[in-house]
A and B are shown apart, each in its own frame.
Chain A
Amino acid sequence: DAKTTQPNSMESNEEEPVHLPCNHSTISGTDYIHWYRQLPSQGPEYVIHGLTSNVNNRMASLAIAEDRKSSTLILHRATLRDAAVYYCILGYGNKLVFGAGTILRVKS
């Protein structure tokens, strides 16, 4: 399984944008880039995914580098409810391989 590298933790102020980076230099051509998050005491929650082009949905945006070796999850206005562990996962096929993720803390 291709590996991803994420910062252990990040901090943001409420109502400000947050950019969560992910490096995946060994990504293969068929790997999708998935982002999930896990709020305290809850199961993982799908955020967004993409293959080559940038993607937007109601929760976030995903910016994918042209060489696909890195990507950035963008939360446009962080709220206290966005405090969670964010996982960047590569995959082709139906198995998700979770790493340690990035702990996002949001300050009010």
Chain B
Amino acid sequence: EPEVTQTPSHQVTQMGQEVILRCVPISNHLYFYWYRQILGQKVEFLVSFYNNEISEKSEIFDDQFSVERPDGSNFTLKIRSTKLEDSAMYFCASSEVSLSGNQPQHFGDGTRLSIL
């Protein structure tokens, strides 16, 4: 069964440094998402991306965050200047196109980001 893959599984970065988290969505999916989960807390939506542009973003997704689909297979999340509070599990997801939001989202196993 096709799956969403994320790399690296664990990223350790110094505060203030830039970090890029990478995802390979399922190949025929056209909607992409990033979520995060701070340890012990709920899974939080960050951003959705379709047709090479952001379709929706949360308040968490401020100017420090950006997303990109640099080629036909990868989908990346960049944090420009990391803060301690960015430490979390970051999950990428993808889905088929649905205007009514009734297509399942398929999640990767996440990247654990630790900011020192």
Name A's B-contacting residues (CB within 8 A). 30, 32, 34, 38, 41-46, 49, 51, 87, 91-100
A44-B43, A91-B101 known, 13 other contacts, Cβ within 8 Å: A30-B100, A42-B110, A43-B91, A43-B93, A43-B109, A43-B110, A44-B35, A44-B107, A45-B107, A49-B104, A94-B101, A97-B45, A98-B42
Q: How far is the CA of A94 from the CA of B108 in the complex (A)?
A: 17
Chain A residues with Cβ below 8 Å from B35 are 44, 96, 98
Beyond A44-B91, A46-B106, is A94–B55 a contact (Cβ under 8 Å)?
yes
Contacts of B73-107 to chain A: CB distance below 8 A: 91, 93, 95, 98, 100-102, 104-107
Name B's A-contacting residues (CB within 8 A). 4, 31, 33, 35, 42-45, 48, 50, 55-56, 58, 91, 93, 95, 98, 100-102, 104-110
Q: Pick the contact of B105: A38, A92, A96 (CB < 8 A).
A: A96
Chain B residues with Cβ below 8 Å from A97 are 45
B104 touches A46 (CB 8 A): yes
Q: How far is the CA of A46 from the CA of B33 in the complex (A)?
A: 14
Chain B residues with Cβ below 8 Å from A42 are 109-110
Q: Pick the contact of A98: B44, B56, B104 (CB < 8 A).
A: B44
With CB as the reference atom, state the residue of chain B lying closest to A31: B101
